[in-house]
Amino acid sequence: MNVALVIVVVVLVLLLLAAAMIRLVTRRNRDLGQARVEARARQAEAERRSEAAERHLATAQEHRATADELAERAREAERQAEEHETTARQEQTAARQHADRAQEVDPDR
């Protein structure tokens, strides 16, 4: 009877160990599956953010190109303004000289 009891206890212990191992394997597989799902979700989020970052970079480059173009236009407008100012000053000087000569020729005028 003692041998039968020992055999029954050993079989029960082996069955409990087998059940525990099966539970651990099942839990590990479930955890790995969940980890895969989470990894896919993180990957999708990373790709979404990467695409958004690329769009933002493209927009920034467009804005920079526009700013460069506007700066070039401003420099050209400044250059033209300086030319017009120089021309206007020369015309003023010429007008004064003509007025002075006219005054010399006809002082009553």
For residues 89-106, average pLDDT: 89
Query: 42 pLDDT exceeds 90?
Result: yes
Distance of CA 100 to the CA centre of its chain: 66
* Straight-line distance from the first to the last Cα atom of the chain, in angstroms, rounded to the nearest whole number: 150
Average pLDDT estimate for 96-107: 84
Write the pLDDT tens digit of every residue in 54-91. 999 999 999 999 999 999 999 999 999 999 999 999 99
Please check the confidence at residue 31 and state whether its pLDDT lies above 80.
yes
Listed by start position, the domains of the chain span: 30-99
**Residue 29 Cα distances to 59, 101, 102, angstroms:** 45, 106, 107
pLDDT above 80: residue 108? no
Question: How is residue 2 written in tokens?
Answer: 């003692």
Angstrom CA distances, 11 to 4, 8, 56, 65, 78, stand at 10, 5, 66, 79, 98
